[in-house]
Amino acid sequence: MSYNEHLATRIRTALSIFPEEFSEKKMFGGLAFLYKGKMTLGIIKEELAVRVLADKMEKQLSLPFVRPMDFTKRPMKEFVYVAKEGFITEMQLQEWIELGLEHAKSKL
């Protein structure tokens, strides 16, 4: 699998405003962005894969262009896929990044 390089550049630019340091790792056939070794979000083909706290999953799944991450053919706990229509603006992308970072920080 491949991932959208333009989206990776957008994410790197968005991450640059955070004081936290992020790393990158190839995962799920795409590219993941990690905070202190914990996945925050990633790119699989043209979509975002975002870690979301359990108590926020229902709300996020009710949004347009969001569905459970079913990489293994069944929904994965605390993961969502976001279609490209769900992060057109930089503000939308930033919101997904913040959700993923919140999840990662909760696991430290």
Reduced 3-state DSSP string for the chain: CCECHHHHHHHHHHHCCCCCCEEEEEECCEEEEEECCEEEEEEEECEEEEECCHHHHHHHHCCCCEEECCCCCCCCCCEEEECHHHHCCHHHHHHHHHHHHHHHHHCC
Confidence of residue 1 (pLDDT cuts 50, 70, 90): low
Give the total number of structural domains in the chain: 1
The predicted structure's pLDDT at residue 75 = 87
Q: What is the CATH number of the domain that holds 65?
A: 3.30.1460.30
Bigger pLDDT: 91 or 2?
91
pLDDT tens per residue across span 42-97: 999 999 999 999 999 999 999 999 999 987 788 899 999 999 999 999 999 999 99
Q: In which domain, by residue range, is 60 found?
A: 5-106
Question: Rounded to two decimals, what is the model's pTM?
Answer: 0.94
